[in-house]
Amino acid sequence: MGEPQPILEPLTPAAIFVVVTIDEGGEETVRNLLADINGLRRSIGFRVPGAGLTCITSIGSAAWDRLFAGHKPAELHDFPGFTGARHTAPATPGDVLFHLKAESHDACFELAMTIADRLAGAATIVDETVGFRYFEQRDLLGFVDGTENPEGRAATAAALIGDEDPNFAGGSYVIVQKYTHRLADWRALPVEEQQQVIGRTKLADVELSDDDKPANSHVAINTLIDPDGSQLQILRANMPFGSVADGEFGTYYIAYAATPSVTERMLSRMFLGTDRAAYDRILDFSVAVTGTSFFTPTIDFLDNLPSAPWEPTQLAPPGGEADPPSPSGTPPNSTTGALGIGTLKRSSRS
C-alpha cells in the first residue's frame, strides 16, 4: 500500500475547504501543483511550529480523465445527487478538493493563498469554506459531531482502499456536501425533541436507547448493518462554518471511505428514506447546497504522477515517433512534469 495522505489524522480547530474546477487548458498547471503540494505544505507548516498543517488533495472523475493517462480508481464517478419526495441533495461542480487542516487559521490560510496563486489563470475556485471548531467539536445545531467515527484499525478499514483495487491501495473516496441550517426553526424545538432528531443526548452526547430513538433520527438512519452483522462505516471530518452578517450557519460535511457506495447508501437513506422512515429528520433543519465526489490518491501517487493524457506514450513503435493524442484545450507544449519546490512557477498575481 502506498503512503496515504493524512486522512486518519484527528480533527483540528481550523480547516479550509477549497473546491476548484480546472479551466480549459489549465491541466498542466494543475498537474504541476499536485506534484508540488506536499512540498508547499511542508514549507508553510515548518514556519508555523505546532500548527500541524496538513493538506489532503482529491481529484474528481472528469478531472482524472483530463489529468492522467492509464489506470483510474475503480469506483471513481461523479456525485449522483439524490432527489427525495421532500428533500434534495444536489450534485455541484468540482474537479479538485483541497482539505486543509491546522491548529491555527494562519497556516491554513497561507496554504490556501499559495494554492490560489499557483492556480491563477488555470482553475476557478468554486467554493471556499472556512471551518472552525465550535466548543467540544459541536455542530451549529449544538450537538457533538464525530463521536461514533471509527478509530484505529477500524478507521483504516473504513477509509482506505486495500487489496480490492491494488493500483490505488492506500487511497480513499471522499464526498463533500455543504449544509446550511434553518437555525430559527431548530431553536424553536425543545431540546427533548432535538435529541429525537439526532438520536443522541445534547449535553452529554449519549446515544438514545433503541426504544427511545426514532427510526427517522439521524443516527438510526446512518447506522448501516451488513447482513453478516457488521456495521458499515465511513470516516467523517465535518466542520461548522458560518457568517453572522449573512445569517448563514452551516455544517461542511466531508467523509472519506474505502468505497463511495457506503456513503451513497447513507445518503439514499437520508433523502429517499428506509422501510421505516420517509427521510432523515435532520433534513427538515439542514439544506444541502453542494455535493461533489472525489478520489484521494496516496502521497506516492502525487510524488510520482502518471503521464498526462497528452504526453507521448512510453512505448513508441520501433523506428517511429509516438503520435500523442492532443485533446482540445490542452497546451501544445505541455510535456513537463513537476516544477520542483526550488523552481516554483511565479503566478501573474505574485
Q: Which residues bind ligand HEM (CB under 6 A)?
A: 139, 141, 143-148, 177, 179, 198, 200, 218-219, 222-223, 234, 251, 253, 263, 266-267, 270, 282, 286
Give the residue at shortest CB distance from ligand HEM: 148
Question: For the chain, first and last CA: distance in Å?
Answer: 38
Count CB-CB contacts under 10 A for residue 156. Answer: 18
CB nearer to ligand HEM: give 241 or 295: 241
Minimum CB separation from ligand HEM for residue 140, in Å? 8
C-beta of 279 vs 310, nearer to ligand HEM: 279
* Residue 36 falls in the annotated catalytic set: no
Nearer to ligand HEM, 142 or 331 (CB): 142
Radius of gyration of the chain from its Cα atoms, rounded to whole angstroms: 21
Residue partners of 245: CB distance under 8 A and separation at least 6 = none
The smaller minimum CB distance to ligand HEM, of residues 96 and 183, is found at: 183
Residue type, 224: L
DSSP structural state of residue 242:
E
Cβ-based nearer residue to ligand HEM, 194 or 330: 194
| Residues with Cβ within 8 Å of residue 5, at least 6 apart in sequence | 55, 56, 57, 172, 296, 297, 298, 299, 302
Pick the closest to residue 296 from 169, 180, 201 (CA basis).
169
Spatial CB neighbours of 331, under 8 Å, sequence gap ≥ 6 = 25, 27, 28
Collapsing DSSP to helix, strand or coil, 75 comes out as coil
Q: Which of 127, 139, 145, 280 is catalytic?
A: 145
Q: Distances from the Cα of 267 to the Cαs of 15, 34, 249, in angstroms? A: 24, 30, 21
Grid cell for residue 330? 490542452
CB of 267 vs ligand HEM, minimal distance in Å: 5
Q: Name the minimum Å distance from CB 112 to ligand HEM.
A: 23
Min separation Cβ 141 and ligand HEM, Å: 6
In which element (H, E) is residue 43 found?
Answer: helix 27-47
Mode of pairing for the β-strands spanning 88-89 and 82-83:
antiparallel
Rounded to the nearest whole angstrom, what is the least distance from the CB of residue 251 to ligand HEM in the complex? 4
Of residues 141 and 344, the one with the C-beta less far from ligand HEM = 141
Shortest separation between residue 286's beta carbon and ligand HEM, angstroms: 4
Angle subtended at Cα 111 by Cα 107 and Cα 114, rounded to the nearest 5 degrees = 145
Catalytic machinery residues: 145
